[in-house]
Amino acid sequence: MNNSASHSSVWVSFTYANMIASLALTLGGLFFVQIDLWIKGYMLMGVTMLVTATVILCKTLRDNHESTKLVSKIEEARTERILAGIQS
């Protein structure tokens, strides 16, 4: 039995649009702000690292959650097998 829920295409499109819009607005603001070029580079580096750290954190949390579900299924199957052996 597969309990994984997939996201709708509208939600996936929204997340892509949200990411593109936020990146475009951030880069646009960074382009038009009146500061030195090295400060713009530092801020761009910080934004890039923040985005990649967010993606890595989300993936790690999801992987941990998925592995917990697998361990629970294995333990449940083992318990059912033990109970089936006792009832026989």
Q: Cα(75)–Cα(20) distance, rounded to whole angstroms? A: 42
Domain boundaries, the chain: 9-87
Does residue 42 sit in helix, strand or coil?
A: helix
What average pLDDT does the segment 45-65 reach?
Answer: 92
Which residue from 51, 62, 60 is spatially nearest to 18, judged by alpha carbons?
51
How far, CA to CA in Å, does 60 sit from each of 11, 22, 63, 64, 67?
A: 21, 23, 5, 6, 11
Q: Cα(26)–Cα(47) distance, rounded to whole angstroms? A: 9
**Six token digits for residue 32:** 């038009």
pLDDT bracket for residue 3 (50, 70, 90): low
pLDDT surpasses 90 at 86: no
Entry pTM: 0.62
Structure confidence by residue, pLDDT tens digits, 10-51: 988 999 999 999 999 999 999 999 999 999 999 999 999 999
